[in-house]
Amino acid sequence: MFFGIGKKSATPAGPPQPGPFGPYHLRELINSGGMADIWLATDRDNRSFALRRLHDDLRMDFTARKRFVQGCEILAKIHDHDCVIGYHAHGKIDGALYLLMEYVEGSNLKLMYADHDPVLLENVGNILIDMATGLAHVHESGFMHLDFKPENVLVTRNASVRVADFDLSQPIPKAPRKQSKYPGTPAYMAPEQLQRGAIDQRVDVWAFGVSAYELLTNHKPFPGESPAEILAAQLRRSTFIPPVEHNPDLPEALEDLVVSCLAKEPGDRPETMTPVVEALKAALYV
């Protein structure tokens, strides 16, 4: 079994340099994404944390600031779980918004996937279960993630999983609801998102299905270079290749579960990730 990867996020220009940041010391830049830098930081007691800091050029961007703070507040409510990144604090220092999190010694799933990391090769079943378990906890806590993808899954060297990045997360609506905006990563977005329709937590079930398909087959289920191409592949379905054709070693029950998560109609998918966890454990004899 092999692993694949999507494109790496662009790095914004001019990240801050290592040094003091309020009561913390920024030691090493871990990652830089579209909204924020993530640093290995220490406090005055030399304890290690991951410190996420909003890019300086977004300080006056109301939408970015709102998403960043909302993600912090949601994480503060749901972090008390083994498969969700730990929360310590959030706030503002010298005008810069920050989030202080658990420091995870490892990498995100996207990068490990790119490196064909043996941790994934040896633990793919447990990683899938823990990914699903973390996302199920998000749903059980009353939220939908809305940006679930391998880049937002951290994996330690002993294959422990942490779901991260809740900037786009929202409370689960009582009924599927249209959004004013539909941010996210098109390759992991469900058809109803790409069509700007009413959505609920079942878009996360779809995103998990895409991520699982990718890990198990080294292919994306609905490839495309643009949102329009991806949506056309999702709706057409005639080019959809069953996972077992890429990976003949897949148990039938596991393939059936992944395919059910990728049902075109939301009502044909599992309603939340909780039954997906139980089905995964049964399929993998855990």
Same domain for 68 and 162? no
* Domain around 94: 19-101
Look at strands 87-93 and 161-163 and give their pairing.
Answer: unpaired
Which positions ≥6 away from 243 have C-beta within 8 Å? 213, 216, 217, 221, 250, 255, 258, 259
Query: Quick one: what percent of the chain has pLDDT higher than 70?
Result: 94
Helix (H, G, I), strand (E, B) or coil at 117: coil
**CATH number of the domain within which 62 lies:** 3.30.200.20
Q: What is the pLDDT of residue 238?
A: 83
The residue among 95, 66, 100 whose CA lies nearest residue 168 is 66
Report the distance separating Cα 286 and Cα 282, nearest Å. 6
Q: How many domains are there within the chain? A: 2
**CATH number of the domain within which 191 lies:** 1.10.510.10
Same domain for 150 and 80? no
Q: What is the mean pLDDT of residues 207-233?
A: 96
Same domain for 180 and 247? yes
| Paired tokens of 53 | 């800091």
Same domain for 39 and 157? no
Same domain for 86 and 167? no
Same domain for 134 and 233? yes
Tens digits of residue pLDDT in 93-146:
999 999 999 999 989 999 998 888 999 989 999 999 999 999 999 999 999 999
Same domain for 46 and 154? no
Tens digits of residue pLDDT in 26-68:
999 998 888 999 999 999 999 999 999 999 999 999 999 999 9
Give 286's pLDDT tier (boundaries 50, 70, 90): low
Same domain for 170 and 196? yes
* SS3 of the chain: helix, strand, coil, percent, to 5: 40, 20, 40
| Paired tokens of 51 | 């410190």
| Paired tokens of 22 | 């309020």
Q: Where are the beta strands (DSSP E) in 33-95?
A: 36-42, 48-54, 87-93
Average pLDDT along the chain: 92
Q: Classify residue 3: in a domain, yes or no.
A: no
pLDDT at residue 12 greater than cutoff 50:
no
Query: Quick one: what percent of the chain has pLDDT higher than 90?
Result: 87
